[in-house]
């Protein structure tokens, strides 16, 4: 079993997404979005290779993995004893900045 570690920036992105959904669609929808994200992340403790490997994106020299959902992508890296949640990417954002943002974390 691996430990799930959230980068502060990833946690902040989750809160931003949740707040946006709360404002636009109400509290029930915001809770569902958060629950969906957690439901995708929880299995990574025992199945860290669950996401799609992306050899173009790297975090501290390791290729990242991506879990896709309808509205977001969960971008993470697998290390020896932990899974690092690097980013919760809103699919409406421009992908051209993705590599730059990850390299800065």
Report the CATH number at residue 83.
3.30.2310.20
- Compute the distance between CA of residue 15 and CA of residue 98 in angstroms, rounded to an integer: 19
- Domain of 26 in residue numbering reads as 3-103
Q: What is the pLDDT of residues 42-68, one digit of tens each?
A: 999 999 999 999 988 999 988 999 999
Give the residue among 74, 71, 75, 66 at the shortest CA–CA distance from 91.
Answer: 71
Q: pLDDT value at position 99?
A: 85
Question: What is the number of H-type helices and E-type strands within the chain?
Answer: 3, 5
> pTM score, two decimals?
0.91
Number of domain units in the chain:
1
């Amino acid at each position: 079993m691996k430990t799930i570690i959230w980068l502060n920036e990833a946690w902040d992105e989750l809160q931003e997404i949740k707040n946006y959904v709360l404002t636009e669609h109400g509290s029930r929808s915001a809770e569902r979005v958060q629950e969906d994200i957690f439901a995708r992340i929880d299995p990574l403790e025992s199945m860290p290779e669950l996401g799609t490997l992306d050899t173009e994106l790297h975090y501290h020299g390791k290729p990242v993995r991506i879990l896709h959902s309808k509205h977001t992508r969960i971008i993470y890296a697998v290390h020896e004893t932990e899974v690092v949640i690097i980013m919760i990417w809103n699919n409406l954002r421009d992908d051209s900045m993705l590599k730059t943002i990850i390299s800065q974390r």
